[in-house]
Amino acid sequence: MSVFGFIALGVAIGLITSAPVGPVNIMTIRHAVQRGAREGVFVGLGAVLADTIYAAVAVFGVSAVTQFIEGQVDLIKLVGGTLLIAFGLKILHTHPHLETEPGNGAAGLWADATAAFFMTLTNPGAVLGFIAIIGGLGSWRPEHGNHIGALALVAGVAMGAL
């Protein structure tokens, strides 16, 4: 497969893994509606970065990821659960309408992008999804040693997730 083929395949994988609406997507949509598309995209970049890390790890070493997850599953659940509870409490104490509210400036934007990054990074579903999808590509996966193809696939995932 050509580099452009790997990029197209990566875009499809990025779309598939990022499309389901969850807490990170809700946070991103909320920022976009209340403060504008630019801030929504910036917050979403936190999740895109985490997705890109998982895609790179899955493309370059599925077995290493599996061993890491098995060894750290309790920690991943604890951190992910804590972040989801914190996000839920934050949503609970906000107003349910979509009126424009003043932003917290750059510091608040960076904090929200960081929260989106860690919420995505600690999502076991994201980890397992990338391993299953990329592991199941079979002959469509870049061959061992095809680093350009692997990087193109990861770049495509980042573009699709964005």
Determine the Cα–Cα distance for residues 14 and 4; give it in Å rounded to an integer.
15
Q: Which domain holds residue 62?
A: 3-95+103-161
The winner for highest mean pLDDT among 4-13, 15-24, 77-86 is: 4-13
pLDDT of residue 65 exceeding 80, the answer is no
pLDDT at 126: 75
Distances (CA, A) of 62 to 58, 70, 127, 134: 5, 12, 10, 8
Q: Which two tokens stand for residue 14?
A: 């990025």
User: How buried is 143 (Cβ within 10 angstroms: 0-12 exposed, 13-18 middle, 19+ buried)?
Assistant: exposed
Distance CA 162, CA 148 (A): 21
* pTM of the model as a whole: 0.65
- Across the range 45-67, mean pLDDT stands at 77
* % of the chain residues with pLDDT over 70: 86
pLDDT band at 102 (very low <50, low <70, confident <90, very high): low
Instruction: Band the pLDDT of 40: cuts 50, 70, 90.
Output: confident
Per-residue pLDDT at 117 exceeds 80: yes
Tokens coding 117: 């990054």
Band the pLDDT of 17: cuts 50, 70, 90: confident
Mean pLDDT of the region 62-72: 65
3-state helix, strand, coil in the chain (%, to 5): 80, 0, 20
- CB-side exposure of 37: number of CA atoms within 13 Å? 1
How many independent structural domains does the chain possess? 1
Q: Which amino acid is at 39?
A: E
